[in-house]
Structure 1
Amino acid sequence: MKLNLLALLPFAAAAAQVARAAATPIRRDDWPHGPFYTSGNQIKNANNESVIFVGTNWPGSGESMIPEGIEWRSIADIVSMMKYVGYNFVRHTYAIQMIDQIYENSGTDITVQSALLYALGEENGTKTMEMINKNNPQITNSTTRLEVLSMIAEEEAKQGILMHLDNHISRAIWCCSHDDGNAWFDDMDFNISNWHRGHRYMANWAKNHTNIVSMSLRNELRKSAVKQNLEYNWKTWWGNVSAAAENIHATNPDLLITISGLDYDIDLSALTTQANLLTAPYVNTDMDYPADASSLPEEYAKIEETSFGKAKKAVLEIHAYKQSTYYEDHLEDCDAIQAGLYRFGFNALGESARPEGCTNSTNFSDPYACPPAKLTLPTLLTEFGDAQDAGFANVTMQKCLRDFTTKNKIGWAHWSLAGSYRIRQGLMFNNDTWGLTTPTWDAFQSPETVDDYFRPWIRDMGTTNLEL
C-alpha cells in the first residue's frame, strides 16, 4: 500500500475555527450562504438551514477535458435547461490529466483549441472549435479549459445552481472499467502524488467561485485488472481517501468533501458500521484480505478523528445502477434494492431511513439485512440512471430510488446531462440515450420524463435555500 502523506499537516486551529462557526453560524444574506457544513445526517448552510442537493452530472473528463455540449448550445442555454428541471446542484467531472498538463506547461492552462486538436485531430478539432465559438462567442482560440469552466460556474451561480467538482479519473478517457489503468491507487495511470496535486489545484481554484461548496475525492474506485498486485481492501482504501480528504481540507477548509466507496462506489459499509478494516465484509468476495488479519491489531476508519471530520465537512456518496454488483441480481425486488442501499452506506442517515423490507439479520449475504451504522453523516446518491425515454418512470430500479430518496430527503444527481460526447471510446460525436438532452443539446431527450418524473420528484424533495 502506498500513501502520500505530504498533505497531512497540522491544521487543528483552522478545523476548530470552522467547527465553532458551524456551532454558531454567522447569518449570510448572499447566496449560496456558504460555507456549508454537516449536522448529523444533514447538510446545512451558514444560516443553519438544511440544504438538499438535487441535480445531474455534466461530463468534462473525456479526452478533450472540456465540458460536453458547448459546441451545440450556449452555456447560458444549457444551464437554463437544468434550471427548468429544477436542479440546484451539478456534479462536474474532471480529469487529473488536465492539471498535469498545466504543470507540464509551466503553470499555464491549455487552450480549448489546442485541447480539441489533440483529442479530435485537426479536421474534427477545427470544426468543433468553430461550433463552440459560434454558440459561445466569448470562447475564442485563446480561451483556456479552466476559463470555460469558470464561465459555466458563473452562469450556474447566476441561475442559483451549485457546482460540485468531481475527480472522475486521472487519464482523461471514458470512465470506468477494471482495465482502464485508472481503477485503484497506484494503478498504471493513477499516480497518487499527481492526484493530491490535482486536488490542491482544484481546491484552490474553487475559492474563486462562491457556488462551489463541495468537492469529491475519486469516482468509482475498483479493483485493477492491469496491476493485479495492488492491495484492494478496506485498509488501503481508508489510508488513501483519508489522506486525500486531509489534503483538500488543508487547502480549502470551506469545502464539503464527498467520500466514495468500493466496487464502483456501491459499498461504504466498513466505514458506516465501523467494522475492522482488516476483516470487514464486502459486496464482492474478490478482496485482498491480509493473510494474518486475525493476529494483527484491529483498524478502523474513524472520520471523527480527522481534521475534516472534526470540522464537519465529511459527506458520503454512493452510486446505484442496474448493472452494479448486487443490484443486478435484484432488479425487480424493491425491498432488496432499498435494503442494499441502506446496508452499503445509507444507514449513516440513521434508523429512520431503514426500509420496511429489512430484516434483523447481520448476515452480509442476506439481501434484506440492514445492519445499523455506528456513525451519522449525510449520504448522497451521486450517480444512477437509465435510458431517457417514455419508459424511464416504469423501471423498478428508478421507482425504488425515487421512493427511497424522497422519503429520506437524500440528495441525488443522475447520470447524466450529456446526450452526446464529442469523443467517447474512440468514437467521434458519440450519442448517448441515457443523456437528459438530445444529441444536439437543443431539447430534452424525453420531455415526458422531465415534466412528469424529474420535476415532480424534485418538488417532493423540498430543496432549501438555493432558489434565487
Structure 2
Amino acid sequence: MGFNCVRLTWPTFLVTNASYSSLTVEQSFQRLNLTESLAGIRANNPAVVDLKLIDAFKAVVSSLGENNVMVILDNHVSKPGWCCDNADGNGFFGDGYFEPDVWVDGLTKMATMFAGVPHVVGMSLRNELRGPRQNSNDWYKYMQRGAEAVHAANPRVLVILSGLSFDNDLAFLNSRQVSLSFARKAAFEVHWYSFSNGQEWAAGNPNELHVAVNASSASSSGSGDGRGMLCLDVGADGQSVVTNPCRCLSADNSCDPESQWFKMVSSTRSVAANSMLAELPVKLGSSKIRSL
C-alpha cells in the first residue's frame, strides 16, 4: 500500500483501569454488542480473541514490526469510546475522564512497555485537545510534564505534541516555546480536515474561503515559519529511524514518493496546506494481522 508508519491509538484506561485491562477481546466486543466484528476477528485472527486487550494491542504492534512498519503510539482518549466531542469528558485536562496524574501514569506505562521495541518510533501525547476548559497555560503545564514522563521512560522515541481546538491550533507556540530537558526529538502535529471549517464552507464563497483557510492553517500550525515538516524513514541498518525534512512537497521529478510514509496529492495549494498526513486504519475484523 506504500506506507511505512501507522498511528496506533490507545485509551489511557487500557493501562490504568483494571476494569478495562482485565477484559479479553471477546468480552470487550460482546459488551458493545459488536457481534459481526467479533465474528470477523474469529475468522481472520482467531488467536487474538481470547487475549487480554493489552496483549492483543501488543500483538498488533509486534505484527506491524514483523512487516517493517513503524508505529507511533497515540493516546487518543482516556475512557474508551468514540472520539471526539467537546463534552465527551476526554477533551482537556481536568475533564471528567481526563485526570492529569492518571494520564501521566498511562503515558509512563505505555512508554515503558515498548521501550525495547525498535519499530515503535514515537508517542503522541494526546489526540485533539478541545472543549470549554482548554487554555494554553494548562497546555504548557501538562504537555511538558507528559513529554518528560515519556522521555524518562523511553529516551529513544520521538515525543509528539498536539495543539488546541481539535489540534487545529498551535499558534500559541509563536509567542512561547515548550521547555523540555531534551532536544531534537520533540515534534508537533496539526490536524486539518475538510470538515474542520464545516459551517464556513456551507455558507461562504468556496473560492474566497479556500484562500482564507489556507492562510489560517499556515499561521495556526506554525508551518509557515521555516521549521519544516517531519518525515520518518528507516536507516540502512534496519534498526534506526532517520528524521529529515519532508521531501516531495511539490512537483519534483527527482523525488521518490515511496520513500515517505504519506502520499502527496497534486494541488495548487500551498506547501503548508498540503502537510496533512494520511491515516490508514487497520480493521482487525476484516484483515489478517499478518497481512499488514
- The two structures share one fold, judged by TM-score above 0.5: yes
Instruction: Please name the residue that 2:278 is paired with.
Output: 413
Instruction: Please name the residue that 1:97 is paired with.
Output: 13
Q: Does the alignment pair 1:404 with 2:271?
A: yes
Q: Does the alignment pair 1:323 with 2:239?
A: no
- Per the TM alignment, residue 100 of structure 1 is displaced from its structure 2 partner at its CA by 2.4
Change (3 A) 1:402 1:207: farther
The correspondence of residues 68-147 of structure 1 with structure 2, limited to 5 A, is: 84=1, 86-102=2-18, 109-120=22-33, 124-125=34-35, 128-141=37-50, 143-147=51-55
Instruction: Please name the residue that 1:175 is paired with.
Output: 83
Per the normalisation by structure 1, the TM-score is 0.48
The correspondence of residues 263-302 of structure 1 with structure 2, limited to 5 A, is: 263-271=165-173, 273=174, 275=175, 300=176, 302=177
Determine the C-alpha separation between the residues in 2 that align with 1:135 and 1:99: 26
- Per the TM alignment, residue 193 of structure 1 is displaced from its structure 2 partner at its CA by 1.3
Determine the C-alpha separation between the residues in 1 that align with 2:228 and 2:119: 31
Instruction: Please name the residue that 1:223 is paired with.
Output: 131
Determine the C-alpha separation between the residues in 1 that align with 2:193 and 2:6: 19
Larger Rg: 1
Q: Which stretches in structure 2 are left out of the alignment for 5+ residues?
A: 230-243, 247-264
3-state secondary structure, aligned to 1:138: helix
Q: Deviations over 1:283-341 (max 9, x none)?
A: xxxxxxxxxxxxxxxxx3x33x4113x3x111010000222249945754543333222
- Per the TM alignment, residue 180 of structure 1 is displaced from its structure 2 partner at its CA by 0.8
3-state secondary structure, aligned to 2:216: helix
Matched length: 252
Instruction: Please name the residue that 1:249 is paired with.
Output: 151
- Contact 2:223/2:272, CA 8 A, preserved across alignment: no
- Per the TM alignment, residue 131 of structure 1 is displaced from its structure 2 partner at its CA by 3.4
3-state secondary structure, aligned to 1:177: coil
Determine the C-alpha separation between the residues in 1 that align with 2:114 and 2:127: 19
- Contact 2:217/2:273, CA 8 A, preserved across alignment: no
Instruction: Please name the residue that 2:215 is paired with.
Output: 339
- Per the TM alignment, residue 170 of structure 1 is displaced from its structure 2 partner at its CA by 0.8
1:149 to 57, 67, 71: 57
Determine the C-alpha separation between the residues in 1 that align with 2:277 and 2:269: 10
Instruction: Please name the residue that 2:66 is paired with.
Output: 158
Q: Does the alignment pair 1:192 with 2:108?
A: no
Q: Which amino acid aligns with 1:88?
A: N
Q: Which amino acid aligns with 2:121?
A: V
Q: Deviations over 1:11-68 (max 9, x none)?
A: xxxxxxxxxxxxxxxxxxxxxxxxxxxxxxxxxxxxxxxxxxxxxxxxxxxxxxxxxx
- Contact 2:158/2:186, CA 8 A, preserved across alignment: yes
- Per the TM alignment, residue 159 of structure 1 is displaced from its structure 2 partner at its CA by 2.2
Determine the C-alpha separation between the residues in 2 that align with 1:181 and 1:87: 33
Q: Percent identity?
A: 27
Instruction: Please name the residue that 1:34 is paired with.
Output: none
- Per the TM alignment, residue 151 of structure 1 is displaced from its structure 2 partner at its CA by 2.2
Q: Which amino acid aligns with 2:147?
A: A
Determine the C-alpha separation between the residues in 2 that align with 1:188 and 1:401: 43
- Contact 2:162/2:190, CA 8 A, preserved across alignment: yes
Determine the C-alpha separation between the residues in 2 that align with 1:245 and 1:351: 20
3-state secondary structure, aligned to 1:319: coil
Change (3 A) 1:198 1:378: farther
Q: Deviations over 1:343-389 (max 9, x none)?
A: 01243650889xxxxxxxxxxxxxxxxxxxxxxx979xxxxxxxxxx
Determine the C-alpha separation between the residues in 2 that align with 1:337 and 1:406: 9
Determine the C-alpha separation between the residues in 2 that align with 1:209 and 1:159: 14
Q: Which amino acid aligns with 2:193?
A: Y
Change (3 A) 1:351 1:178: closer
Change (3 A) 1:313 1:172: same
- Contact 2:217/2:272, CA 8 A, preserved across alignment: no
Instruction: Please name the residue that 2:110 is paired with.
Output: 202
Determine the C-alpha separation between the residues in 2 that align with 1:417 and 1:328: 28
Change (3 A) 1:260 1:351: closer
- Contact 2:168/2:191, CA 8 A, preserved across alignment: yes
- Contact 2:8/2:73, CA 8 A, preserved across alignment: yes
Determine the C-alpha separation between the residues in 1 that align with 2:89 and 2:128: 13
Q: Which amino acid aligns with 1:87?
A: F
- Contact 2:228/2:245, CA 8 A, preserved across alignment: no
Instruction: Please name the residue that 1:306 is paired with.
Output: 180
The correspondence of residues 390-401 of structure 1 with structure 2, limited to 5 A, is: none
The correspondence of residues 15-94 of structure 1 with structure 2, limited to 5 A, is: 84=1, 86-94=2-10
Q: State the superposition RMSD in angstroms.
A: 3.3
Determine the C-alpha separation between the residues in 1 that align with 2:245 and 2:171: 14
Determine the C-alpha separation between the residues in 2 that align with 1:89 and 1:209: 14
- Contact 2:12/2:79, CA 8 A, preserved across alignment: yes
